[in-house]
Amino acid sequence: MKRITLAFAMAAVLTGTGLAQTFETIKLLPHSTERGGNLMQAFQHRASEREYGVTDLTLQDLSDLLWAANGINRPESNKRTAPTAQNKQEISLYVVKYEGAYRYDAQTNVLEPVTAGDHRAIVADRQEFAQFAPVILVIVGDYSVFPAERNMALVDAGYVSQNIYLFCAGNGMSTVARGTMKTDELAEILKLPEGQRPILNHPVGYRK
């Protein structure tokens, strides 16, 4: 019965998107600053939610979500919406969708294809609900830029995580921060260089 339920849910995800599932570079849209409502309202609605609608995120919503999470808000200095210790900018964002895994390039505002195929179950690991979210954001830190006894990448990942939470809360989306994932397998799928490791992940979907 579980296999039938999972298969049905997967079919619903694919049908619900209404989009061709192609694996190629995704040119993101310029972020919109005319959305999201009141910051205090976003705090009011911030919550960890584990149920997601099956409809894929629109390109504008995905673009704005990534920019809010860790995009460039001061182009003259290449600084981000999330702070990092000593401005190391050691945090990277990856997007795992049905058709494949992508790396977010904030400078060119594109999603670069990394590995084709549906790897959401690898991110979900034993928490099956996560694999049916249309989008999973993976927060990756470069551990090599800080001494082991003071690894600020873990702290900096938390800033990005909260940005994701607040954007979702203000824009009708559900998400939850998760440390559970098959970290070693995911690192291979994302083709991470030595020293970089997944820290947190966020399934994201429209609120049901």
Encode pLDDT of 121-153 as tens digits.
Answer: 999 999 999 999 999 999 999 999 999 889 999
Residue 36: pLDDT band by 50, 70, 90 thresholds? Answer: low
Number of domains into which the chain is organized:
1
pTM of the predicted protein model = 0.89
Domain enclosing residue 200, as ranges: 2-206
Q: Residue 164: which CATH number?
A: 3.40.109.10
pLDDT in tens, 53-107: 999 999 999 999 999 999 999 999 999 999 999 999 999 999 999 999 999 999 9
Q: What is the 3-state secondary structure (H, E, C) of the chain?
A: CHHHHHHHHHHHHHHHHCCCCCCCCEECCCCCCCCCCCHHHHHHHCCCCCCCCCCCCCHHHHHHHHHHHHCEEECCCCEECCCCHHHCCCEEEEEEECCEEEEEECCCCEEEEEEECCCHHHHHCCCHHHHHCCEEEEEEEEHHHCCHHHCCHHHHHHHHHHHHHHHHHHCCEEECCECCCCHHHHHHHCCCCCCEEEEEEEEEEECC
Q: Span 39-51, mean pLDDT?
A: 93
